[in-house]
Structure formats: structure tokens, C-alpha cells
Structure 1
Amino acid sequence: MTLLLLLMVSFIATGNWAQERVWTWQCQEGRCVKQLLQRNETPQGLEACKLVCDIYSTLWPRPTGKVELGRVLVPINYNAITIIGISGEGRALSENVGQLFSTAADNFRNRLTTMFKKQEQRTSGGKSLQVQVTIHDSSTRTLTMESDESYELYISEADYSQVHCNIVSAQFFGANYGLETLSQLTTFDDAADNLVIMRDVNITDSPAFPFRALVLDTARNYFSVASIKRTIDGMAASKLNTFHWHLTDSHSFPFQSSTYPQLSQYGAYTPQQIYTPQDITSVVEYARARGVRVLPEFDAPAHVGEGWQWAGPNVTVCVNAQPWNKYCVEPPCGQLNPTNDTVYEILGGIYHDIFALFDSDMFHMGGDEVNFECWRSSLDIVNWMTSQGMGQTNDDYLQLWDMFQKKAYMKVVEANGGNEIPIVLWTSHLTAEGAIDKYLDNEIYIIQIWTTGRDAAIANLVNKGFRVIFSNYDALYFDCGFGAWVAEGNNWCSPYIGWHKVYMNNPYTLLTNLGVDVSPGTAARELVLGAEAALWTEQVDESSLDGRFWPRAAAMAERLWSNPDEGWQQAEYRMLAHRERLVQRGIQSEALEPQWCYQNEGSCPSQG
């Protein structure tokens, strides 16, 4: 007893007790198994085991083409990493793409820094890492629906002192994804106390869908530029490519218009809670260097109110009207007056300011939840309709809405230098059967679906040749499943949506279930652009932003990039690893399971 006590005191005094390694992880049948470390056995850390164990390593999203993984880890020297970018002809990259590549290379190094937990003067053993990135199109720097996001990645052990990685892509966007994949094939092995990388790798990868997005509403609650950039970081880590920015709503007007600064002066929650032109330019460029386009939305003719008070009489109607549930879906109410010419003058200025700041290849005009009772409450609108020989039926108000949409669209074209641009609209009465043929052109309009994935109207849209984006609320509304804020009980779209349902939300399957043939090569399949997860922020602010999006948005990301045939069960180990990766990078991603499950793969999901 005395000897044991002396040994314990010795361990505690020297610190060896805390450093003594008891466990190791071994890959067995595709999962990491926790085992007691045997005498003279070389231990392997959990993260190193996970890197070599799963058929797709810890890659998220999993690649879509050739995947050859050597499953042998090589230590690399953090202080001996070289990254160069060249054009397809072997020359230097153009200045514009070169700047983007330089940022992407710095981002890669920063990811390794975070992983390595590098301290000043800390030594790093291992081989040097030489990364050469070839970008064939050295001029394109703006992401569009036609952009090539594919890449090839090769890792080999050149000799006793070097590891070589070659990334080949058509455009910068694929190269950026190749660097992300390379960082995911690297980890810190805490048993070896060093960075390790997988060798003998051959990957060919490209996305299944061209549009992979998140929408953040920054009007109901304000979000700092830093939090928006953090969201974009999570998107880049998950290979999502579109940040849809819902800039304004009836609640507040945080967008600072250069033409009409009164809008944010009257409509922002505080003078500090605005997005200046400099803020927006900063976000757009930050996103561009991470392969993300920023898609602006200015929702109209509904979802307006705060900020318009200065514009004069009858520019807006039913603003903050009560009882609110008669005039809108949530307080405060408010809609533009389509019969007032000042409306279009102001819209023209707003659109001009937006196009000066954003360079997206499409524009979102909102167009949802127009309430005809709101318009009927305005004597000004009613008198104008009577003077035009119109009545007061819903069909008459659809015609009024159509008039607004056409006039507003012409202002968009003017703001875009006279060039037409694809317009995204939410599903609404205007996109319903019987109206859409009459009022909307499928060459111009893309329809974003927010109804359930079982809605027969979705099939109608595709059958009529409209391009569609899925945001079906039964799987992709991440504000669902919390307490109601305008009544008792739960909010309108409860219950909470888990990552499993998000992962299984396959747009092609939804359309197939609705009787639409979307087999490869069909015209209908080409009309499905992708999907977008939505976060409406009545009950979300910056303090809860990360947990609402992540890691569920990553589940959608793999669905849209890889579109796997298998279910979520085959992705669970990698999902848990990606969640840890997001946290490591400073994104406060929601926990999915106890940490014990992360360390004991296969022990938690029910097998029954």
C-alpha cells in the first residue's frame, strides 16, 4: 500500500499520470474501435484512425467520381508547406484569379494552423508538403450557374523528404474545393504529436447540383458582418456555393442605400445596425475567395414597412395594421402600393444600389405572401382599380400584382445596365396553376419552393418548364420546432427537423413521388437547380445562429454535392467528424450525440 501511494505521488508530481496513454484506436471493418493500449504497441489517435478507416475517410461531402485512398498516413512538417498556383499553360495566374488563389492558399494554411494548434517556437517534424494547383481558366473570378466546380486531386509520397499534391481544375472554384478536400485529408495525430496526411490519393470530384445555398434573414433580427462571414466559412467547409441574403423586411431596413439613405435612417433598428456599402463589398469579396456567390433579395411588394415612412402618403399600405392577422402572416404588416409611381422610382434607386454592390448572375425579388386584404384596405388602391375598370375579386388583385411585377422587373433590367437577368421568386398565388402561365415567363423566372415537398404544385411548375429551387419547409426550414412567438404552443412549422431528414431530402425523389420523370437525360431533371436551407430569424439572433444552421446545413450540402444512393446511416461517422471539424474552425455547431458515441462508432444508432 505504501509503495502504491509513493508511485501515485510520483506520477502526480512529475505529470506523467496525466500524460500516460491508456487507449488506442484501431480500424476494424470500417469503424474505429477503442481498445486498451498493449505493451510496446504504437498508439494511434482517434482522428488519425478516422482519417484512414471509413471508405470516404472523413471527407464531407463525399466525392462523386473516382475515390482512391491509400490509407497510409505520413507526418508532414507544418513549417515546410509550399503552395503554388499556375495556369493551364504553366504560366502565372492572372492578377484577379491570382488574388483569389492567394487568399484560398492562406485559408488552407490557417486551417492547418487551427488543426495543429500551433504555438510560437513549436517544432514540427515530418516531410515537406509541396502543393501545385493548376487552374486552366485563369480569368474567371465570378461564380455563375455555368461555372465549372470540378477538380482532381492527387497525393503521392515523392521521396524520403517530400509529399507532393497536385490539384487540377478548370476554374478557381474547383481549385478552392480541392484545397478544402486536401485539408480534410490532413489531421493532427495527438498520439504522434504531429500533422499527418494521407498518401496515394486519387480523387475526381464535381457537384450533382449547381445551386447549393443557405438563406439568412438579417431584417427580423440583425446579424453582424463577422457572423455572416462565419456562416460563409461553414458553407465553404461544406462545399455550399450560394449565400442568399434576405436584406430587408417589414421589421427593419438595415441595407444602406446610397440613393435613398432615408430608408435605413428610418428603418434600421439602431444607427449601428446597418449594412454599409463597405460592409456588403467586404462580404461579397470574402465569399468570392471561398467559392460562394452572394445572392441579394429585396422582397416586394409584401414584406415592407419600416424605413418607408419618409416616402410620402400612400407609398405603402396597411403598415403595422391591427389586427395584424387580417392583413399579413405576422406582425408588422406592410405592402407597397402598386398604383403609386413613387414606389417604382424608389425601387429603381434601390435596385441600382444593389447591382452596384453585388455581382450575382441572378436576383431574388421575393414576391411571397402578398395579402389582398391589405390592398383592399387602401381607398387609394380601390379607387385606382375602379378607374381602370377592375373589380375587387382575387383575380383582379392578381392582375394588380402582375402589373407591379412587370414594372418592378423593368426597373431591375434598367439597374442591370439594360440587361435581362434571371429572377428568383418564392412560390405564391402568382406561381399557382392558372396564374403562372398567364403572368410569368419561364425564360426569366426561377421558382423557389417553400411549400411541403409533397405539394402537387411542384410538379406543375416543372411540367411547365420552370427552373426550380427546393426549400420545402418540411425539411429545409431550420427555424422550425421552437416555441411560438405570436401565440402559445409551438411555431407554425414544427416539429424540429433533424439532420437525418435534411440528408434524405432528395429533390429528384420528391419529384418522382409527384409523378415527374427526372431520370438522367430528361428535360425535367435539368430544371432542378438544387436546394436551399432557410433560416428565418423571428426567434434567432447572432447568439444562436451557428447552432441553427450547423451541422444540419452540412447534411444538405452532401445531398446536393454527392446525392448519394445510400441513407444517412452510412454517413453518420463522417457527419460526426465534420461537426467536430466545424467546431475546430470556430463555428459553434450544435452537438448531435454524446462525445462517447464519437469515440465508439456504431454503438449509438439503433440497429433494430
Structure 2
Amino acid sequence: MKLFTLTLVLFISLVDVALAQNDPYEGLIPAPVSLVKATGTFTFGKLTVVKADKPKDKAVELFKDFLVNNRGLANKVIKYSPTTKSGGTSVILTSRGADKLPAEAYKLTITPRKITVIGKGAGLFYGIQTLIQLFPVDKTVAANLPCMVINDEPRFGYRGMMLDVSRHFFNVAQVKKVIDLMAAYKLNNFHWHLVDGQGWRIEIKKYPKLTEIGGTRQQTMFGTNRDWPDGQPYTGFYTQDEIRDVVKYAAERYINIVPEIEMPAHSDAALRAYPELMCTPDTSVKNPARTNGLYCPTEETFTFLENVLTEVMALFPSKYIHIGGDEANKQPWKESAFCQALMKQLNLKDEKELQSYFIQRMEKFINSKGRSIIGWDEILEGGLAPNATVMSWTGEQGGIAAAQQKHNVIMTPQTTGLYFDHYQSRSPLEPVSFGRYAEFSETYKYEPIPKVLTADERKYIVGLQGNLWTEFVPTVAKLQYQILPRIFALSEIAWSKPENKDYQSFSEVRLAKHFERLDAMHYNYRVPTAFEVIDTMMIGAQFTMAPKTVVPGARIVYTLNGRDPVDTDLGYESPITFNIPAGEKRVFKAVVITPSGRRSLPTSTIMYNQAPVAAANYTGNSAGLKFTLIKGNFTAPDQLDYAPKDSAGIAKTLETSEFRKTRPASGIIYEGYISIPADGVYNFSAAAYNDTQLFIDDNKIADNEGALSLFKGYHKIKIKYFYTAPVPGTRRRGNPAIRIYMIAPGTMDKKLITGDVLYN
């Protein structure tokens, strides 16, 4: 419940100080397995000698580059010999003693005279990355590092990040900056989405038209993207030499690149170049296919794909080759006489089994080359290919089903904060993104291993991944804004033990140095807001506002007149107490401004000295809510007030699955009553992937999170919601559920509102 008093604010301030002083991980991200602090400091200066088993090892050279480029130091690097004694301070980078360490593990020891990093291969590299994080961000010549012992290893073997370069193309230098971020935070698999309906981005020597024709679309706009439809051709692709360069660059940072070549769907770019690979539609079919971005499963198609993959596998040494397999609109196969005949020949009962045949055939070819396939969770449909790894994106159910079938799973559900193209808050001032929400806290709090799995089944969850689809990401600045700071949360849930996670410490203490580092490297990032909740309403007569920022050196400005704060407004210095007259409201808006001039989105807190709302004169007890269905495509809930009504009825649930079967895009208004069990202040919130509005007694709940003082009894509830059909060529599915939550007086327990308290 977001009710503040002076006592509470002072308590929070003391907690913040305690957190900063007692950070058990010294600001490191991701949190190591164990960190034992010791007394004293190590002073790294010009005369500190770096000793390494292999001075020319790439990890050692990257550390040397860090010292030159970030510290202005040219320290001597010599070959390490344990029998050679030396004076002064030294850093030892060695694999001696690493034989008993798990894969990718390291041990870092700092004493007043010596730093020792023990690790082998990736382990040594990650130990060096941890050491780099311990250096101060300022570029003073001498750096004091606290003494400690760290023992560390990853929780998951697959720690991934996906970048889509089909919809918007990013050049080699820009891709390398993403790889740099991944390496710094111990992510080890870069899923490179090279092919989709919008553009083919990898040179294939045998089929030059793939990039000559398939690498270009006719204008910047795609689907519902709000880029201006400028009519200017949009193009770009990587030569094979550029691919080799990026693969080598990533490998030097212990990052494997997983290439994705889409099939059988999302293939419009390839089919623009080679239309003979499409199915010929049956002209007698009355309802032709909406889209035909689907390969026809002919021998010519399989030969084409095998030739393409042969060249791809020659460029990428990855064990995994991603072949997509998702969102296949199978209508072209239903209309194809060839496909129908093939299904009879193979004794396949439907087009789902035909897709399984397609995937399994490609898997056999890839397996014959010593590689394995990854596919999105739709490859489960019609039967899972024998050796496939499933990337579970539509939710967790695909991953659960695959693990239960003893298949490896990479968790990346779009419903749990791992889709970085989603909005980072519900503020209308967020840059245009895909119309769902993946707040930073949601990403951090995700647990990749579902509780429903048995102990044996859990071992098949081999890792997780964050995804950035780029329909709405046309620039590097937007790319960085979308993944920062969420990639920090991804790093910790992929590497750290669950018991070492602490969201408050992570978000309020440890992130500080990393924002400072991002500023020093001129990365764009989303500045955390002064309050975690963007817009809220609080009930009471007295409030104390204590906005805060984790960004070092940032300042907070605020207003009390409803305007968004600008640089010249009041500067926040210490907690402010407000006394609100009965029946009146005040609005406290705050913005964080970093030393580099970056600004957070404004937060708005309505302080309302509200008299309790009397219960409605309602005597019925009919379960469920009245609904009004409004057919059409909408972009905001307010549009539902002016659109013609379609139908009405009683809904016993807030699920919209049944509506979607006959109306792929619609608006819905739910109205009725909610039963309030006792007098008091209740907090309400709404969660849905499309924009939603929640009203209690005609009071709009700001940003779908706020409080009202209510008397016991029935109170009016109204929910305005819309959903849209997936845009052809996107890999997005609407979540059919709206969730309404309530926190009762005197508790912090956020309970889902179900039909037992809703009436019409």
C-alpha cells in the first residue's frame, strides 16, 4: 500500500544508508556465488605489474586494453612464474589451480599486495570482468580496490541475448557494442536473428538474390510501426567476411553466436527473391491465404534450405542452429494441392504434422553436420523433433512440456519481462514500443525453473534469454534504451544463485556504479524514475514525499502544480511533508536529471484527502460482470466510448479467449460491482498487455495503480480494455487475460480479484 508518513520515510532513508554500507557484493553485477570481505585495500597504480600464464591471451590483452583506454595506464605485462619473487604490487592472471573449478568458474583474491585471478578459458575471462567492475569509474591514476575473496560460477550454461536485425538493420560496429555489453555481464550466447519476413541480412553465395532482393523492403514502415511511411527503400546485409569478423570478435569474449534462419514461416524476404519456393494456391478455394510467407515443402525447397544452411554452418561454429518454426500461418498449405497430396502420401493427419515433418527433416540434415537445432516452442506442434532444443517464448507451457519430454529448454517467455521490445512502464511518454509491458522489476524477479517440474525434469532447463525485436527500434540510441538497464537484471537471473538475489539492494544500491559507467561510455539508457510507480494516488491527510535516485550525481526536480518538471523547477533536497485539506488533492511530480543531462520520465503522485465512498444501493448477487463488445481496431481505451457497440452479455471471467475466436480485434467494457468486505483504504491495480483503464466508483485509478477509501458494501467497477490481432510477420500473441488486483487495509498482500467478489 503506497501510504507514506514521516516515520515511514525516515525509516526508508535509514534502510537506504544501511543497504549502501552493507552491500554484500561490492556493487558487482551479477552477484557472485560468494564474496568474503577482508581488511585493507590494494592500490593499483602505474608500477603495478600484470603477470599472466599467457601474456598474449586475448582475455589478458582485453584487460590491458581496459587499463590503457579507461585508466590511461600502460602497465607492464609479463609471463607468470610462481617461483619468481618480485617487489611492489602485482596482478596474477593464471589457470594454475583451476582444474577443480566448474566450467566458466573463477576465484578472485585481493590482498594489499597482490590480486590473483584463477580460471581457465571463460572462467579467467569472467574473473577479469569482475576485477574490472571493482575499479572506480573515475580515471584517477591510482585505484584503491577493497580486499576480498570471491568464488564464483554460473547457475545456467546458456545465458543469452537475442537481437533482431531483420526489421531494422544494425551494422557490425553497432552489433559489437551489444556483444561488449553481454561480455561485461557474463552473458555467453548471442542469438542473431538474421532472417525474417522484412529482410534477409546474411550473404549466401549460392543465392545472391537473397540479399539483392530479399535484403530490401520498400519503405521504412513495417506493420504497426509508427515510423513515417516514407517510401524510401530500406536495405542492409552482412557480407560473409563481416560475419566471420563478428564471430571472431564474439569468440574472443567467450560468446557463442547462434544464427537464426527462419523456416517454414517468416520467409517473405526469401520468397520475394525466389518465388518458386512458394506453394501454388488452389484457385477453387473461396477464402485465399491472408499471407504466403511460407515455404512450400517441396524437394526444391529442401535443397535450397540445405544449401543455405551449409554456407551458414561454415560461418558459425555454434553447436546450435536456430531454425525458427514459429507462427506458421498454414493456410497456404491448406490451399495447396501439392501439400494435401504430400500429407496423404506421408499419412499426416493435419498441417501441424506437416510442419513437424518439415522441422524433423531439416533437423536430420543439421544433425548430419554435427549440429543441433533450436526452435521456438511451436515446434512442439505435431510432434517434437527428436534432438531439438525448445526456446519457450509464448509462455512457460512450451518449455514445461519440452522438459517433461526430456528435451533441453531455453526459457524466454514474453510474459515475464524478457522481451526487451516491450514498454518499460505504462507512462504515455515512453518511446513507442511494442504494446506490452516488461518492467525492470518483473525482469529481475523472474525465476526460470517452473515449480511444476520434478527434480529430474528441472535439469532440462539449460538457460534463459532476453529478446529485442526491432519493429520499433530504428536507432542505436533506442536499442540501448530498450536493453539498459534490463540487461543487468537478465545477467543476474542467468548467472546468480536465487538465494543471492535481492531486488532492493540490486535496484537501490548496486546499480549506481553501473549507471555511472554507462555515462562514462556514452551509452544511452532509461534513467530510473524518482518513484518506481510512475503514477499513483494515495489516500490520507498527511504525506511525506521522499523521491530518490540511484544514479550518482543526479538531481531531482519537482512541481506541485501538475506540470511536468523541467530543469528550472524546484530541486529536491530532503523529505517534504504535506498536509492536505479535507476533500482536496495535491499532485507531486518529480523528474531525475543525471550529470550527463539524461532525464527520467516524470512520476506523478496524487495526494488525496478523500472522504470514504459510500456503498452503492445494490441488492443483487448475480456472479460476473456485464460486458459490452465493441468491434474494431483501437489504440487507446478512450476510443471505446465513441465506437458503435457490437454485442453485450454477462462474463463470468476476465479472460478474452472466447471473444478472440470470432473477433480477432475488439474492445471490451466490463461493468458491475465489487464486494468490499470492510471499511478502509484499498489499493487497486490492473495488469494487461494492452492498455487498460480501471474505474472504482467512477474514480479512474491512475496508471492502473492507486488507492481509494471505501465503506463496506458493493462498489461500482468498470474496466475498459482492447486487444488487437497479431500483425502478419510479427511473433506476438495477445495474452487473453486481464488481471485486477486488490490490497486490503492493514496488509501488503496483493490478491487477484476473481469472480467471487464481482457481480452484475
Aligned pairs for 1:445-484 (under 5 A) are: 445-453=388-396, 455=397, 457-474=398-415, 475-481=417-423
1:581 match: 517
- Mapping of residues 433-582 of structure 1, within 5 Å: 435-436=382-383, 439-441=384-386, 444-453=387-396, 455=397, 457-474=398-415, 475-481=417-423, 494-508=435-449, 511-512=450-451, 515-517=452-454, 522-543=455-476, 544-565=478-499, 566-572=501-507, 573-582=509-518
| Alignment partner of 1:397 is 2:351 | yes
* 1:218-260 deviation line (CA, Å, top 9, x unaligned): 1111111111110011111111111001110111111101222
Structure 2 letter corresponding to 1:370: A
Query: Structure 2 vs 1, CA of residues 287 and 129 (structure 1 numbering), >3 Å: closer, same or farther?
Result: farther
Q: 1:126-159 CA distances to partner (integer Å, 9 max, x unpaired)?
A: x9652221125999xxxxxx9810001111222x
Specify whether residues 277 and 362 from structure 1 end up closer, same or farther in structure 2 by C-alpha distance, changes over 3 A only.
Answer: same
Counterpart CA distance in 2 for 1:31 and 1:507 is: 29
The alpha-carbon deviation at position 69 of structure 1 amounts to: 2.4
- 1:134 pairs, out of 94, 100, 110, with 94
Give the superposition deviation at 1:72: 4.1
Name 1:181's counterpart in structure 2. 130
Q: Tell me how far 1:577 sits from its aligned partner.
A: 2.4
Q: How does 1:2-41 map to 2 (within 5 A)?
A: none
Q: After alignment, is 277-286 or 559-568 more displaced?
A: 559-568
Q: 2:360: which partner in 1? A: 406
Structure 2 letter corresponding to 1:473: Q
CA spacing shift, 1:281–1:220, aligned 2, 3 Å: same
Correspondence for 2:240: 277
User: Counterpart of 1:476 in 2: which secondary structure?
Assistant: coil
Range with greater deviation from structure 2 (172-181 or 362-371): 362-371
Q: Which amino acid aligns with 1:69?
A: K
Q: How far apart in 2 are the matches of 1:135 and 1:206?
A: 15
Tell me if 1:426 matches 2:369: no
Q: Check whether the contact 2:277–2:301 (CA below 8 A) recurs between aligned residues.
A: no
Q: Which has the higher helix share?
A: 1
Rounded Cα–Cα distance in structure 2 between residues aligned with 1:600 and 1:278: 44
Shift of 1:302: 0.6
* Aligned-residue offset at 1:423: 1.6
- Whole-Å separation in 2 of the counterparts to 1:317 and 1:476: 38
1:48-81: per-residue Cα shift (whole Å, max 9, x none)?
A: x97x76221111111013x12236444422x334
1:364 has 2:331 as partner: no
1:61–1:558 contact (8 Å) kept in structure 2: yes
Mapped to 2, the partners of 1:586 and 1:242 lie a distance apart of 24
Most deviating of 458-467 and 527-536: 458-467
Sort the Cα spacing of 1:588 and 1:110 in 2 relative to 1 into closer, same or farther, 3 A.
Answer: farther
- The Cα RMSD (Å) is 3.8
Shift of 1:185: 1.4
Matched, 1:70 2:38: yes
Q: Deviations over 1:88-126 (max 9, x none)?
A: xxxxx4xxxx75x2x32232234344544789xxxxxxx
1:598 aligns with 2:551: yes
- 2:334 aligned to 376, 383, 387, which one? 376
Equivalent residues of 1:185, 1:197 under 8 A apart: no
Q: Could you tell me whether the CA contact under 8 Å between 1:476 and 1:532 is conserved in 2? A: yes
Question: In the superposition, relative to structure 1, how do residues 404 and 136 fare at CA in structure 2: closer, same or farther (>3 Å)?
Answer: farther
Q: What do the CA deviations read for 1:25-57 (whole angstroms, capped 9, x no partner)?
A: xxx988669xxxxxxxxxxxxxxx97x762211
* Cα gap change, 1:303 to 1:592, in 2 (>3 Å): same
- Number of positions where the alignment pairs a residue of Structure 1 with one of Structure 2: 492
Distance in structure 2 (CA, Å) of the matches to 1:377 and 1:369: 18
| Structure 2 unaligned residues grouped into runs of 5+ | 1-12, 75-86, 217-232, 531-547, 555-573, 576-591, 593-602, 606-746, 749-760
The C-alpha deviation readout for 1:332-378, integer Å capped at 9, x for no partner, is: x501101x211111111111111111111222111111111132233
Q: How far off its partner does 1:379 sit?
A: 4.2
Aligned to 1:197: 144
1:450/1:545 CA distance change after superposition, 3 Å:
same
Check 1:481–1:589 CA distance in 2 against 1; reply closer, same or farther (3 A cut).
closer
Following superposition, the deviation at residue 581 of structure 1 comes to 2.3
1:378–1:56 distance in 2 versus 1, CA, 3 Å: same
SS at match of 2:24: coil
Distance 1:310 1:478, change over 3 A: closer
1:571 positional shift? 1.2
Q: Is this contact kept in 2: 1:112–1:183, CA < 8 A?
A: no
Cα gap change, 1:407/1:401 in structure 2, threshold over 3 Å: closer, same or farther?
Answer: same
* 8 Å contact kept, 2:30–2:491: yes
- Residue of structure 1 equivalent to 2:61: 106
Amino acid of the structure 1 residue aligned with 2:436 = P
SS in 1 for 2:175: helix
Separation of aligned partners in 1, 2:314 and 2:290: 34
Native 8 Å contact 1:189 1:195 kept in 2: no
Whole-angstrom CA distance in 2 between matches of 1:189 and 1:210 = 34
Q: Which residue of 2 aligns with 1:150?
A: 105
1:476–1:502 Cα contact (<8 Å) kept: yes
Moved more, 401-410 or 466-475: 401-410
Q: 1:516 to 1:129 in 2, by over 3 A?
A: same
CA 1:157/1:314 → structure 2, altered by over 3 Å: closer, same or farther? closer
**Higher alpha-carbon Rg:** 2
Describe the SS at the equivalent of 1:539.
Answer: coil
Tell me which moved more, 376-385 or 598-607. Answer: 598-607
Aligned mates of 2:318, 2:523 — CA distance in 1: 26
Q: Does structure 2 retain, via aligned residues, the 8 Å contact 1:372–1:397?
A: yes
Gap change, CA 1:459 and 1:230, over 3 Å in 2: same
Residue pair 2:109, 2:115 contacting (<8 A) in 1 also: yes
Q: Could you tell me which amino acid in structure 2 is paired with residue 424 of structure 1?
A: I
Aligned to 1:335: 294
Write the distance in 2 (CA, Å) between the matches of 1:294 and 1:367.
19
* TM-score between both structures, scaled by the size of structure 2: 0.59
Match of 2:182 among 235, 240, 253: 235
- Aligned residue for 2:192, secondary structure, equals strand
Correspondence for 1:38: none
Partner SS, residue 307 of structure 1: helix
8 Å Cα contact 1:287/1:294 also seen in 2 = yes
Letter in 2 for 1:478: F
How much does 1:547 deviate? 1.2
TM-score (norm 1): 0.72
**Does structure 1 retain, via aligned residues, the 8 Å contact 2:410–2:464?**
yes
Uncovered stretches (5+) of structure 1, i.e. residues with no partner: 1-27, 34-48, 87-92, 120-126, 140-145, 159-163, 484-488
Q: Is the 8 A contact 1:451 1:473 kept in 2?
A: yes
Q: Distance in 2 between matches of 1:537 and 1:128?
A: 51
Q: CA deviation at 1:277?
A: 1.1
Which SS does the other structure have where 2:154 is aligned? coil
Q: Which amino acid aligns with 2:44?
A: I
Q: How far did 1:204 drift?
A: 0.6
Q: In structure 2, how many angstroms separate the alpha carbons of the residues matched to 1:550 and 1:118?
A: 29
Quick one: higher RCO (CA 8 Å, sep 6+), 1 or 2?
1
CA contact under 8 A between 1:265 and 1:307: conserved in structure 2? no
CA deviation profile, 1:457-485 (whole Å, cap 9, x unmatched): 443322221211111101211112399xx
- More strand per residue: 2
